[in-house]
Amino acid sequence: QVQVAESGGGLVQAGESLRLSCAVSGITYRTFVMSWFRQAPGKDREFVACISWSGGVTVYADSVKGRFTNSRNIAKNIMYLQMNNLEPDDTADYYCAADLDGSNYYLGRSEDDYEIWGQGTRVTVSS
């Protein structure tokens, strides 16, 4: 069965960078989509970015465009989220998720699209 696990969170100051990793195990299919969501204290979980595994097609939330880069290393089965110029509003628990029904032509932005979720990694950005 497919499992995902996030890592790389930490405490940084505004303007600094951080890279999150999501290790994927149990991969059988190549036509699926991986994503990042985040949840700040007292707020709903929101979409951050996603990437189709085979084609590398990416989608970003408007709030992170130009600052975050979603990528993956197929050989290592790892997805990365490079976060640059971090802001206090980026403070949240970050989750990676897998949509086994996704493809290069369907990259979901909804939590309901994703079947497999990690436990989260915390990112704190101070002023």
Residue 91: which residues within 8 A CB-CB, separation 6 or more?
40, 41, 123, 124, 125
DSSP H stretches of helix in 56-118: none
| pLDDT tens figures, 103-122 | 888 899 999 999 999 999 99
| Cα distances (Å, whole numbers) of residue 20 to 42, 48, 72, 105 | 22, 13, 11, 25
Q: Residues 1-19: pLDDT tens digits?
A: 899 999 999 999 999 999 9
Residues 104 and 15 sit within 8 Å (Cβ to Cβ): no
* CA–CA separation, 25 and 3 (whole Å): 5
